[in-house]
């Protein structure tokens, strides 16, 4: 009868030990489950962070692409305006070219008439530097036949020659040349005063003469004009200051 408590106690101890072992196993399972939950949570958070970072990257790329698109839209708008302006200018240029061709067809005959008029003018004018001026007219005629010279350049040359001819009426000059006097060629010095007087004098001053535009011939002058012509020559050479010249000039024809 006395051994029963010992057996009971032993059985109770075994139950307690068994219960403690079961509790430890359960606790370990709980701990292991919690660790797995934490690891899974960490893995999930890492995946979330990765998704968030990728989303941010995509968003930044999207903003960059949108900014680039906005820049391209502005650039394309400017290019379209430039193209439109260039097309307008091109149309205007084509119209101008067509007009130039029309003007060129009209201006070349006009230039031809201007050269003919210049030639007649030189032939009928006071005969100073006659060979040189006729040569210039001949050069203009040759210029008109050249295909490698533009109409604008031809026009410029013709107008330039007319300007030179016009300037002769406002200037005084001297030059040396030969002149037939009394059937013999003589070296003389010419004095031109605008277009109103053309005179000559031999180097020794013995022979003097003037061009009579009305009679279109040279006439001899007396010795009383020698010093006056000489003074005019000195003025043309800028050896003396300009002054009043007393020269034989034919009276203008009555209209």
Same structural domain for residues 153 and 201? Answer: no
Same structural domain for residues 182 and 242? Answer: yes
Taking the mean position of all CA atoms in its chain, how far away is CA 114? 31
Would 242 be classed as within a structural domain? Answer: yes
Same structural domain for residues 165 and 175? Answer: no
Would 111 be classed as within a structural domain? Answer: yes
CA distance 71 to 66: 9
**pTM for this one?**
0.60
* Exposed/middle/buried for residue 184 (C-beta within 10 Å: 0-12, 13-18, 19+): exposed
Same structural domain for residues 207 and 246? Answer: yes
Q: Tell me the pLDDT of the chain (255 aa) as tens digits.
A: 445 454 445 555 555 555 666 677 877 887 888 888 888 888 888 888 888 888 888 888 888 888 888 888 888 888 888 889 888 888 887 777 677 677 778 888 999 999 999 999 999 999 999 999 999 999 999 999 999 999 889 999 999 999 999 999 999 999 999 999 999 999 999 999 999 999 999 999 999 999 999 999 999 999 999 999 999 999 999 999 988 888 887 655 554
* Domain C-terminal end among 103, 135, 170: 170
Same structural domain for residues 87 and 150? Answer: yes
Phi, psi of 108 (to 5 degrees): -60, -45
Instruction: Please give the full DSSP string across 180-241, using - where no structure is assigned.
Output: EETTEEEEEEEEEETTTEEEEE-TTS--EEEEETTTTEEEEE-GGGHHHHHHHHHHHTTSS-
Same structural domain for residues 165 and 176? Answer: no
Collect all residues with Cβ–Cβ distance below 8 Å to 151 and sequence separation of at least 6: 103, 104, 107, 108, 111
Collect all residues with Cβ–Cβ distance below 8 Å to 171 and sequence separation of at least 6: 192, 194
- Which range of residues forms the domain containing residue 166? 79-170
Number of domains making up the chain: 2
* Domain C-terminal end among 170, 194, 221: 170
Would 50 be classed as within a structural domain? Answer: no
The pair of structure tokens assigned to 84 is 């439109």
């Amino acid at each position: 009868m006395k051994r029963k408590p010992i057996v009971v106690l032993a059985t109770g101890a075994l139950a307690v030990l068994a219960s403690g072992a079961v509790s430890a196993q359960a606790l370990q399972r709980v701990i292991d489950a919690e660790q797995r939950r934490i690891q899974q949570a960490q893995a999930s958070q890492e995946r979330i962070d990765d998704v968030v970072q990728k989303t941010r990257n995509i968003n930044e790329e999207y903003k960059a692409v949108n900014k680039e698109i906005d820049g391209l839209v502005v650039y394309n708008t400017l290019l379209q305006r430039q193209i439109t302006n260039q097309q307008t200018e091109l149309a205007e240029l084509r119209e101008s070219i067509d007009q130039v061709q029309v003007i060129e067809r009209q201006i070349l005959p006009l230039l031809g008439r201007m050269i003919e008029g210049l030639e007649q003018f030189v032939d009928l004018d006071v005969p100073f530097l006659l060979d040189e001026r006729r040569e210039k007219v001949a050069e203009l005629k040759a210029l008109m036949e050249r295909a490698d010279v533009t109409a604008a350049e031809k026009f410029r040359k013709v107008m330039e020659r007319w300007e030179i001819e016009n300037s002769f009426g406002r200037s005084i000059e001297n030059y040396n040349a030969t002149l037939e006097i009394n059937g013999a060629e003589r070296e003389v010095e010419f004095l031109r005063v605008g277009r109103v007087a053309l005179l000559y004098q031999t180097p020794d001053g013995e022979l003097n003469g003037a061009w009579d535009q009305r009679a279109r011939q040279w006439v001899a002058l007396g010795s009383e004009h020698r010093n006056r012509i000489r003074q005019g020559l000195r003025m043309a050479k800028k050896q003396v200051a300009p002054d009043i010249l007393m020269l034989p000039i034919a009276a203008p024809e009555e209209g």
